[in-house]
Structures are given as C-alpha cells and as structure tokens.
Amino acid sequence: MRYHAREAAGPLSGTLRLPGDKSISHRAILFAAASEGTSRLTGVLDGADVRSTIGAVSLLGAEVAVDSARVGLDVTVTGWGESGPISPSTPMDCGNSGTTSRLLLGLLAGWDVTVTLVGDESLSERPMARVTVPLAGMGAEFTTRDGRLPITVHGGAIRCGIHTIPVASAQVKTALLLAGLRGQGRTVVTEPAPSRDHTETMLPAFGVEVGRDLDELSCWIEGPTVPTACDMAVPADPSSAAFMVAAAILVPGSDVVLPDVCLNPTRTGFLRVLHRMGADIGVDVRIDQAPERVGTVHARYSGDLVATVVESQEIPSLIDEVPILAVIASQAVGTTRFEDVGELRVKESDRLKAVHEGLLALGVEARSGPDWLEVDGRAELSGAELDSLGDHRLAMAWAVAASIASAPVVIDRFEAVDISYPGFSTDLASLSF
C-alpha cells in the first residue's frame, strides 16, 4: 500500500486515547495462557503482532475468547496451568512478532512438547540465538536455521542458574525467567543496563514472586511455580504515544492530550530526552502502583528545541523511539547524536540504515556509523518517496515528518502500521482542525 502523507493543514488539537501497550498485551496473554484459571484482560492491543500471540497460545491449548471493545480488545483466557501446553499438529506462525517468538521459546522450554515456530520474511531473518543458546544451557533443545526461524523447540527438564546477558534485552530476560518457572530453584538474570521491566512488574499479579536488585540490575524467580489467573487492564502504549507527541511538538500551534498512557520509567526515555531538548510536555501520573504507572501526557508545539546527546545507557528505554526522535532532532538547534544504537540493525528492518537514508531523502543532513547516528537540526523537510521496509516504526515516523514537509511524503508498504497501531493515520487526522 502506497500512502501519501501531507503537511498538516493547521495545528493539531484534541484528546486521543491511544491503543493498548504492545509489550504488556503480549505478556498478559502469554502469562494468562500459562496460568491456572481464567483471566480477563481489557484494553488489549488489536494489532497484527498481538493477534499472532493470541493465535499461538490457542494452538498450544489455551481457551481464548476475543471481543472488540471501545478500547482495543477484551480477551478472556483460560490457561493450561499445571497440565501444560500441547504440541500443535502444525507449525506455529508468529508473523512479524519477535516478542511472540522469543517469549514462546522460553515459555515452552521446560515442557515435554515439540513445537515448530515460523514467521514472515522479516522475522525469519532476525537473530534468535541470543535466546536459544542460554535456553539450551538450561536443558531445552532447539533445531534452528542458522540461529533463525524456523525453530523447533524440544522442551526438557530445566536447570536453574545465573545468567549474565551481554546486551540489555527485555525479550531475552523474559524468556529466561519464563523457562525458570519450570526449574527447581532460582533463575537469575543480570543485564548490563536496565531494559523494559514489564515482566518483573506483571508476574506478581499472576502469583509469581519476582526478586529484584536494582543496583545490580538483576532479577530472579524461584521455581517450580505455576502462575494463577488474574484480571488486568492494559494501558495505552507509550511507543505509539511518541508519534503523536512528536507531531504535536513539531506542528505550530498544536496542543494534544493523551490519557491513560503507560508511564513505566523503563519505557519513557523518549520523554526524558524531549524534556532535555526543551519540548513543552507535561506528565500527570494517575496511577503510581503495580503493575504499571499510568497517566496523561500533554504535548504542545515547541519551536525552540535544542540538540542533545542520547547516551548508551538511555537507549534501552527508548530503542523503539529512535526513528521518531531522529525526525524531531532534524528541527532542533545543533547536532543530535545517538550512541550505541547498533541494536537497530536487527529490528524489523535495518532501522539505523533506513533512518539515515530516509532523513537524507527528506533533505536532512545526517551521518551514521556501525552503532551511531548524528542528525543536524533546523532542516527544511522536502517531499520524498520512502519505503517503510515493512517496519511500522519507520512508516509512522515518515508520516509525522510529512506533517511539516514542503511536499507530500509517499510511503510504500504503509500497511506495516497494522503491527502496532492499525488506526494511526485516522487518529492523526482526527487531531487536525
């Protein structure tokens, strides 16, 4: 699908309730599927990736009922609990979802099942060895295609232990903890920097105690244990909010309010960077307790942005927002530098290369290296023809860039937004006068 994104006709204004958080939606469904009893989940993201997770747990034996609601999906899940998942008769299609595939590898590792995971062309090129290698050390067996999908999981008896992962990754951390549910003893995961901690905050709601040492960046669980069902409301996705925040601060005269946004500190690095750049953003916390901090984000036009350096320790908390932050940086005074962003090369696309090339096409001066990006500000954005490469974050970033461009930005494969934000273009248009 070719999408013609155009300059905003005027200021953006209004209150917009965004779709449910993708990371939380995935985990809520997976944890509920592994639980004893029936969980009722509200506000679940109705996106292609989450639909992949719903389909996967259904094939594994969980009973799932899905209903459309005013906000997202209402999902009722009766889990397999102590009886465990079943081996499906067909390969399990994870679509484009790295979260679905990597978390399932951990969830299945300790059960006596044989399951083959497949995915689309993009997912089949993403590295899985970062998950399968430590899980194999815990006792599971995997047949892989050079460390990539398709992967067949042969579950086994789990050996607990201590894992120090080389790159901060919420997906790897979660996979190891989920495998540890089936082990006898303590499974510990230590990271080099803080990654998203939804698993640590959500598992206790499902009856699984999680120990944490925030100074050592470690967390652990004691196994064996079986989660118990619970009811959970999914807040709005801060990664989706980033695009609406960006549009508001870039389009003159804009004033946009986003309620019920997940404000987990491991997800709001982009807000901290924007504050540092001088953006006019207010945050009002409404719920400040487990499982998640939730509140309202209020973003206004910010014409005096200044460049900054986004340092390596900040990257895990904003890795998905680098493309849109790069667009914002093109309007700041000075040069913004993103450090240690090599992880972007193994996302849905080589995002680092794609962001660099897309900025150049839009008339922005930018430079990149193996794991860094520099963006010069005060650019006058021109029209361009860009390819999303099937990457939802790129598709939305280029659409926001078009809102301040001198000519339309034509985006190929724009349907990629369905992965995380199916109604993105409609919602963005709804904020225009």
Is 320 assigned a catalytic role? yes
DSSP 218-246: EEEEEES---B---EEPPBPHHHHHHHHH
Q: State which H helix or E strand residue 116 sits in.
A: strand 114-118
Compute the distance between CA of residue 260 and CA of residue 48 in angstroms, rounded to an integer.
22
Q: Do residues 324 and 358 touch, judged by C-beta distance below 8 A?
A: no
Q: Do residues 152 and 128 touch, judged by C-beta distance below 8 A?
A: no
Compute the distance between CA of residue 306 and CA of residue 213 in angstroms, rounded to an integer.
36
Residue of 326, 315, 351, 323 lying closest to 122 (CA atoms): 351
* Helix, strand, or coil (residue 38): strand
Could you give the strand order of the β-sheet that contains 114-118, starting from the edge strand earlier in sequence?
92-93, 114-118, 148-154, 141-145
Tell how strand 73-78 and strand 114-118 pair up: unpaired
The 3-state secondary structure of 269-322 reads HHHHHHHHCCCEEEEEEEEEECCEEEEEEEEECCCCCECCEECHHHHHHCHHHH
DSSP 8-class letter at 160: P
Residue of 163, 225, 230 lying closest to 191 (CA atoms): 163
* Helix, strand, or coil (residue 404): coil
Selected catalytic residue, list 46, 49, 237, 320: 320
Q: Which residues are catalytic?
A: 320
